[in-house]
């Protein structure tokens, strides 16, 4: 096997001879990649080669599909294909299995006009027969996309057999800045194809680096995609909690402000050469999102983001990841008489805090969409408590002008986020196991009411603990908080406990903090 350093030192001819068979009988892929060395890793080389294929045009991709041999046939094939088929036991099959595979190959060829392609390494003959039976039900377009995904997967496995990947060095970050990194080396079928869907990982404390070269930032998307669906599926069956009266909503208006951000090596030529042949217009993204809201059969923001993100990757097979974010735009029923009766058809737009969510979709080892990241939020929660808040004992030095205060009003802004142990809980059409933003903000208010706070830091810690106690299905609660406490104008009003305040000066304090399930093991009130 070669090291990355040795690969970068190969002559042009040696490089093409070594990697020309990675994509079956298609050395033009290696020829196109060779000039862009040095490479950083197996993943880096694979993404570059995959990008060449995806931007080569439909005719070249179809020729690449036709270059692959049918499974189990005795005709001459590349050394790589022969070795892979032998490893799957295709050369040692019983006559009955050989005949069954031959029949399915013929049926597949007759229906789709191309050989059945699957990455066979690690699979048995039965696995392969089952796969061809299932894929016979696909459409022509679906199978052409699947064939290309399998070819990319085969290429990655072949590269891993040629290049000895260095073990990554683990580093510890001492701050909260994001670190961009490539994926660690794959060691089996599940890990092997991560490169196709890889995007720089965002880590806050520990990270893995396989190279000192920083990964390129490359993505684009569409923001402020507003969509309103009337008479959407009601949101019900919410698990009640003591701090909140929230029981769900009828979703008569399901309003969203959506943004989508996509990545993929196939987009590089659009930046470097002005070649837009692989670019999905952002106007198309807008239309895609809005029309899919009409076919969505769930009741949660998270569920819609998962639905539209997965559909986007199914539609555009050169897109590697799609990160979809949405603000839920709340509407409130209005009173229509003096009895408190609320209309079921007239609403006012709420200016209160709003729920939000993010779902990031990547690809599995077989190229199918999968959820790789999800977070829910409630944003712009503004709470003020007029007593029982102190801030004393902080460092005092020559820069300190703030007086200590043992009983101050406290005005805070909160953005609260949470993640599930099992993200699919957020994607259903009812509330079983779902954590509603309305419940989280009610918990924040209840804890604020109950607590004599020594600092905002202490308050958000207590809120986070309470949320995790109420919802064992969550793994983390995170906070972005701001201090907007009013400045005092009149300290004493005769005959009254009141004071007069004004807006605080422009600079404000802020805090970021996350509470994990392990924190519940620590002593302390929540």
Is 249 assigned a catalytic role? no
Marked catalytic residue, from 236, 282, 364, 419: 282
CA atoms within 13 A on the CB side of 122: 11
- The label of the residue with tokens 């990982």 reads 201
User: Active-site residue 282, yes or no?
Assistant: yes
Burial of 96-135, coded b for 16+ CB within 10 Å and e otherwise, reads ebbebbeebbeebeeebebbbbbbbbebebeebbebbeeb
Sorted by sequence, the CB contacts under 8 Å of residue 268 that are 6+ apart come out as: 51, 55, 218
Nearest Cα neighbor of 434 from 258, 343, 300 is 300
Could you say which of 123, 222, 360, 379 is catalytic? 222
Q: If DSSP codes are grouped into helix, strand and coil, which group holds residue 191?
A: helix
CA distances from 197 to 328, 403, 477 (A): 28, 53, 27
User: Can you read off the two tokens belonging to residue 519?
Assistant: 């924190």
Q: Measure Cα distances from 191 to 4, 123, 188, 249, 430 in Å.
A: 19, 15, 5, 41, 33
Kind of pairing, strands 163-164 and 2-3? parallel
Cα 386 to Cα 1, 81, 443, 458: the distances in Å are 70, 74, 18, 17
CA 79 from centroid of its chain's CA atoms:
38
Catalytic residues: 222, 282
């Amino acid at each position: 096997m070669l090291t990355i350093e040795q690969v970068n030192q190969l002559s042009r001819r040696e490089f093409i001879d070594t990697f020309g068979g990675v994509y079956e009988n298609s050395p033009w892929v290696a020829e196109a990649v060779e000039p862009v060395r040095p490479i950083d890793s197996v993943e880096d080389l694979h993404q570059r080669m995959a990008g060449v294929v995806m931007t080569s045009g439909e005719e070249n991709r179809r020729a690449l599909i036709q270059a692959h041999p049918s499974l189990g046939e005795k005709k001459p094939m590349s050394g790589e294909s022969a070795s892979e088929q032998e490893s799957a036991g295709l050369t040692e099959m019983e006559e009955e299995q050989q005949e069954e595979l031959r029949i399915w190959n013929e049926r597949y060829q007759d229906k789709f006009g191309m050989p059945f392609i699957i990455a066979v390494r690690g699979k048995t003959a039965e696995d392969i027969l089952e796969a061809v039976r299932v894929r016979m039900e696909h459409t022509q377009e679906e199978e052409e996309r699947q064939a290309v995904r399998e070819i990319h997967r085969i290429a990655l496995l072949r590269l891993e057999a040629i290049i000895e990947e260095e073990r990554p060095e683990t580093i510890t970050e001492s701050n909260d800045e994001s670190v961009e990194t490539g994926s660690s080396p794959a060691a089996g079928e599940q890990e092997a194809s991560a490169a196709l869907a890889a995007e720089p990982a965002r880590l806050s404390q520990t990270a893995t680096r396989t190279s000192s070269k920083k990964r390129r930032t490359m993505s684009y998307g569409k923001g402020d995609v507003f969509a309103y669906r009337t008479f959407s599926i009601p949101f019900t069956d919410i698990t009640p909690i003591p701090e909140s009266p929230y029981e769900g909503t009828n979703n008569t208006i399901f309003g969203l402000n959506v943004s989508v951000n996509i990545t993929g090596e196939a987009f590089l030529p659009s930046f470097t050469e002005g070649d837009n042949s692989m670019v999905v217009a952002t106007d198309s993204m807008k239309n895609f999102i809005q029309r899919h809201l009409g076919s969505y059969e769930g009741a949660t923001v998270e569920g819609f983001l998962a639905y539209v993100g997965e559909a986007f990757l199914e539609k555009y097979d050169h897109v590697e990841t799609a990160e979809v974010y949405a603000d839920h735009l709340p509407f409130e029923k209005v009173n229509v008489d003096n009895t408190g009766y609320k209309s079921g058809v007239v609403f006012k737009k709420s200016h209160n805090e709003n729920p939000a969510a993010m779902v990031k979709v990547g690809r599995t080892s077989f190229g199918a969409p999968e959820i790789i990241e999800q977070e829910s939020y409630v944003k712009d929660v503004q709470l003020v408590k007029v007593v029982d808040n102190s801030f004393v004992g902080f460092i005092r030095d020559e820069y300190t002008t703030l007086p200590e205060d043992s009983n101050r009003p406290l005005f805070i802004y909160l953005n609260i986020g949470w993640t599930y142990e099992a993200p699919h809980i957020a994607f259903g059409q009812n509330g079983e196991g779902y954590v509603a933003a309305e419940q989280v903000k009610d918990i924040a208010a209840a804890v604020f009411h109950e607590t004599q706070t020594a600092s905002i830091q202490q308050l958000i810690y207590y809120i986070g603990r309470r949320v995790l106690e109420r919802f064992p299905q969550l793994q983390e609660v995170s906070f972005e908080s701001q201090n907007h406490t009013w400045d005092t104008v009149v300290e004493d009003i005769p005959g009254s406990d009141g004071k007069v305040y004004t807006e605080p000066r422009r600079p404000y304090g802020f805090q970021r903090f996350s509470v994990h399930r392990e924190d519940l093991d620590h002593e302390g009130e929540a």
